A and B are shown apart, each in its own frame.
Chain A
Amino acid sequence: QVQLQESGPGLVKPSETLSLTCSVSGASITDYYWNWIRQPPGKGLEWIGFIHYSGNTMRNPSLASRVTMSVDTSKYQFSLKVHSVMAADTAVYYCARWGSGGGHNVNAFDMWGQGTTVTVS
């Protein structure tokens, strides 16, 4: 059973760095692209970016200058940093698997973490 679990501080001060980690179990971390998606309170979903264990990354241009992503295959974790945060970065942050990989051919986010709320204040 594939499980993703986000972890990190729930409160970050303006201008500081938001740091989150997603722990993966039940799936090979080297077979898939791993994503971050966020949802401001009462609003829709915004894709932040993806990372592959090879180092291949892609970020949403709207956030690219402030976002860093990394993956630690030994710990089965991948991470997100958003630098110089502001109130508009307050959101529920989700990690999600892009399902195309490991023999699957699902071009969509097929597995999601439960989400973690981050408040910038």
Chain B
Amino acid sequence: EVVLTQSPGTLSLSPGERATLSCRASQSVDNTHLAWYQQKPGQAPRLLIYGASSRATGIPDRFSGSGSGTDFTLSISGLEPEDFAVYYCQHYNNSPLTFGGGTKVEFK
């Protein structure tokens, strides 16, 4: 099973700042099989990034994904108030599909 470790657990930032979230895999993951989701309280997760770097439909270009192998990054340039949420990475390299433990982006 591929274990995804996200860091930091919590990121305290102000609107307008840049957020950099990390996702590290316990073994190499195919780039096409790494995704990022945003989840707000009481809501279902929303797909942001798939294939490590492709934005999903309707996702603003302040969200970007990068990385390969075992290290992946989600960046949010210029945080908007609606971006304060929990972010999860997820792989589909083999079964079982797994999610990282999440990074909470909170108001500083």
Contact = CB atoms under 8 A, between A and B. Distances in A.
A46 B101 CA distance: 10
Given A94-B44, A108-B90, 19 more contacts: A44-B101, A47-B98, A60-B95, A60-B97, A61-B96, A94-B45, A99-B47, A106-B47, A106-B56, A107-B33, A108-B35, A108-B47, A108-B50, A109-B35, A109-B37, A110-B56, A113-B44, A114-B44, A115-B44
A53 interface: no
Contacts of B50: 99, 106-108, 110
Interface of A: 44-47, 58, 60-62, 94, 96, 99, 106-110, 112-115
Contacts, number: 58
A115 B43 CA distance: 8
12 contacts: A44-B99, A45-B45, A60-B97, A61-B96, A94-B44, A99-B50, A107-B33, A107-B92, A108-B50, A110-B56, A112-B45, A112-B46
Nearest to B6: A44
Interface of B: 32-33, 35, 37, 43-47, 50-51, 56, 88, 90, 92, 95-102
Nearest to A64: B96
A60 B97 CA distance: 8
Q: Which 5 residue pairs spanning A and B have beta carbons closest together? A: A108-B35, A108-B50, A112-B44, A45-B99, A60-B96
A15 to B, nearest CB: 25
Query: Which label, helix, strand, loop or mixed, suits the secondary structure of the A interface?
Result: strand
B106 to A, nearest CB: 15
A5 B86 CA distance: 23
A44 B32 contact: no
A107 B50 CA distance: 6
Residue with the greatest number of chain A CB neighbours at <10 A, chosen from B33, B90, B96, B101: B96
B35 A47 contact: no
A110 B47 contact: yes
B96 A107 contact: no
Contacts of A99: 47, 50
- The listed residue with most B CB atoms (<10 A of its CB), out of A58, A62, A112, is A112
